[in-house]
């Protein structure tokens, strides 16, 4: 079990570059399976989820070479349609392999996907869409078996999603972009997240013909072959949002580079409401927070461009430390408040009713003081005197929320199961130390 330990109270100052987006790179990596040739992906952060995906690709017959933050993927003949039983259940992104292999090989066998325990994570929307184009699939013993023989259609095939599922949209795009030239698919009710646009830009750079990505109606003209390319993903908008919220919580003056400001309009408006001074330039966001204004927020998570569910837990920390009464309604996942009892340990006043958190802002969070951080060489278990108040991460974004809370808490906080956090952050400890936080990783 990995731990992160923080002595809170420091403001954050300095500059930080945001890495490539995990939730773009996962579907882009599966889309590489549709290509015949060589792909270079730049700005690939070293994340456990991405490493798992590269293992899946290598198992299927791709040649993968990692050099720094560049990944070279050579795809010629794939040697199986059966997905690695070990890696696939660890990540949600493994489900995107379905669409890629069905369009490339016409068959796939894979275990049910994994991912953070934030809800049941069903795949019915994925399977419904795939069946709409003629995929035959059945599930047995927690595995999915699917085959696909596309036929030529003279008229467009009209598909529709009951809910703008990000993953289901990414899956059907991969299942239809490579196929019988002349076939056209129109997807109504598609997800509009920037990661969808990124996947389609990547595929179009490989020779696909996908139009209107980023809207709720995407049109795909199948092509017979896709060629290699060189591509850099969009910056990670969720990590950008997490760091902006962290500064709003601790106070300070931080410039984030390699960002796309228009991805953050919703969040930036909320941070300005509590008194943050935010200026944006081409790819930088500069935030200064000296004091926070009282504010009553009523947040409802929603698909893009609504307030992102992946920033819900981080923003909750901000409301917990902002004078006023706020509510956060989680509309996407049924189990995304597991971080709340951990914040209450630090003095937050939050109650949960069904899918809504009620938050009464407090003036400060507190943890047990210690003289200094544990030396990072300590072996677990460490002397209790060193640990301060311990809290536990249960998922990636909830874990990041605990880091943000610990940055503000007076005293020492030790976060258990930091490995969840490393699923989405290459090196959050280095990043925050670079901004002045008193933080150490304890492995
Ligand atoms: C993607 O998950 C992201 N993961 C999630 O980020 C993100 O929270 C989510 O989109 C919403 O933005 C990746 O991209 C790898 P969905 P995904 O399908 O595709 C329901 C993170 O922290 N649903 O849009 O699984 C589902 O239960 C992760 O980086 C069905 O009912 O999300 C949820 O309520 C966490 N049936 C809602 O739709 C389905 O077949 C949104 O899910 C699929 C989804």
Mutate to test the pocket of ligand 1, among 50, 121, 240 (most ligand atoms within 8 A of CB): 121
Please classify residue 152 by burial: count the beta carbons closer than 10 Å to its beta carbon, then call 0-12 exposed, 13-18 middle and 19+ buried: exposed
Contact of 304 with 191, CB cutoff 8 Å? yes
Å from CA of 84 to ligand 1 middle:
22
Looking at domain 3-19+235-442, its CATH superfamily turns out to be Enolpyruvate transferase domain (3.65.10.10)
Ligand 1 atom nearest to 395, measured from its CA: 22
Å from CA of 167 to ligand 1 middle:
6
The pLDDT value recorded for residue 371 is 80
In CATH, 22-231 is 3.40.109.10 = no
Strand locations in 161-305 (E): 184-188, 209-211, 217-221, 227-231, 252-257, 277-280, 285-289, 298-300
The pLDDT value recorded for residue 84 is 79
Q: Where are the domains of the chain?
A: 3-19+235-442, 22-231
* Nearest-CA residue for atom 18 of ligand 1: 165
Å from CA of 183 to ligand 1 middle:
28
* Nearest-CA residue for atom 38 of ligand 1: 165
Whether ligand 1 lies within 6 angstroms of the CB of 171 is answered as no
Whether ligand 1 lies within 6 angstroms of the CB of 123 is answered as yes
Pairing of strands 389-392, 412-416: parallel
The pLDDT value recorded for residue 382 is 55
Q: What percent of the chain has pLDDT over 70?
A: 97
Q: How many residues does the chain have?
A: 443
pTM summary value: 0.96
DSSP β-bridge partners for residue 229: 39
The pLDDT value recorded for residue 380 is 55
- Over the chain (443 residues), what is each successive 10-residue block's mean pLDDT? 93 98 97 98 95 94 97 96 80 85 96 76 90 94 92 96 97 98 97 98 98 98 98 98 98 98 96 97 97 95 97 98 98 95 98 97 93 70 72 97 98 95 94 97 85
d(CA 225, CA 222): 9
* 3-19+235-442 and 22-231 have identical folds: yes
Whether ligand 1 lies within 6 angstroms of the CB of 28 is answered as no
* Nearest-CA residue for atom 21 of ligand 1: 310
**394-432 pLDDT tens trace:** 999 999 999 999 999 999 999 999 999 999 999 999 999
Whether ligand 1 lies within 6 angstroms of the CB of 26 is answered as yes
The pLDDT value recorded for residue 68 is 95
Whether ligand 1 lies within 6 angstroms of the CB of 127 is answered as no
The pLDDT value recorded for residue 119 is 76
The pLDDT value recorded for residue 408 is 97
* Nearest-CA residue for atom 43 of ligand 1: 123
**373-401 pLDDT tens trace:** 877 765 555 555 677 899 999 999 999 99
116 is catalytic: yes
Å from CA of 7 to ligand 1 middle:
34
Among 32, 62, 116, 200, the active-site one is 116
Whether ligand 1 lies within 6 angstroms of the CB of 192 is answered as no
The pLDDT value recorded for residue 443 is 73
* Nearest-CA residue for atom 14 of ligand 1: 23
Residue partners of 380: CB distance under 8 A and separation at least 6: 1, 3, 442
């Amino acid at each position: 079990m990995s731990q992160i330990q923080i002595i809170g109270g420091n403001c954050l100052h300095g500059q930080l570059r945001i890495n490539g987006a995990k939730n773009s790179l996962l579907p882009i990596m599966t889309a590489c399976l549709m290509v015949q040739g060589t792909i270079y992906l730049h700005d690939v952060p070293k994340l456990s989820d991405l490493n798992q995906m590269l293992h899946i690709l290598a198992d299927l017959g791709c040649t993968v070479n990692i050099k720094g933050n560049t990944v070279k993927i050579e795809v010629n003949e794939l040697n199986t349609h059966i997905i690695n039983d070990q890696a696939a259940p660890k990540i949600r992104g493994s489900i995107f392999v379905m669409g890629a292999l069905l369009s490339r090989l016409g068959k796939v066998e894979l275990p049910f996907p994994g991912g953070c325990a934030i809800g049941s994570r069903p795949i019915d929307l994925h399977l419904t869409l795939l069946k709409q184009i003629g995929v035959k699939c059945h599930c047995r013993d927690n595995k999915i078996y699917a085959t696909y023989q596309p036929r030529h259609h003279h008229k467009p095939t009209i598909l529709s999603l009951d809910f703008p599922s990000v993953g289901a949209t990414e899956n059907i795009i991969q299942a239809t972009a490579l196929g019988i030239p002349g076939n056209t698919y129109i997807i109504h009710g598609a997800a509009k997240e920037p990661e969808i646009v990124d996947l389609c830009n990547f595929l179009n750079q490989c020779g696909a013909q996908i139009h209107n990505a980023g809207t709720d109606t995407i049109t795909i003209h199948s092509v017979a072959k896709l060629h290699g390319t060189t591509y850099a993903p969009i910056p990670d908008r969720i990590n950008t949002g997490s760091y902006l919220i962290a500064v709003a919580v601790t106070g300070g003056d931080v410039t984030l580079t390699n960002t796309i400001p228009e991805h953050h309009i919703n969040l930036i408006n909320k941070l300005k409401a509590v008194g943050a001074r935010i200026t944006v330039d081409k790819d930088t966001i500069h935030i200064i927070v000296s004091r926070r204004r009282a504010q009553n927020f009523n947040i409802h998570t929603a698909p893009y461009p609504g307030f992102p569910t992946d920033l819900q837990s981080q923003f909750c920390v901000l409301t917990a430390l902002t004078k006023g009464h706020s509510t956060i309604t989680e509309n996407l996942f049924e189990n995304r408040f597991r971080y709340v009892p951990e914040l209450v340990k630090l003095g937050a006043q939050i109650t949960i009713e069904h899918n809504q958190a009620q938050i009464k802002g407090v003036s400060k969070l507190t943890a047990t003081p210690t003289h200094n951080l544990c030396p990072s060489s300590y072996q677990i278990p460490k002397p209790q005197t060193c640990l301060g108040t311990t809290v536990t991460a249960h998922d990636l974004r909830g874990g990041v929320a605990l880091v943000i809370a610990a940055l503000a808490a007076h005293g020492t906080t030790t976060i258990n199961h930091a490995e969840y956090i490393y699923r989405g952050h290459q090196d959050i400890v280095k990043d925050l130390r670079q901004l002045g936080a008193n933080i150490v990783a304890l492995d």
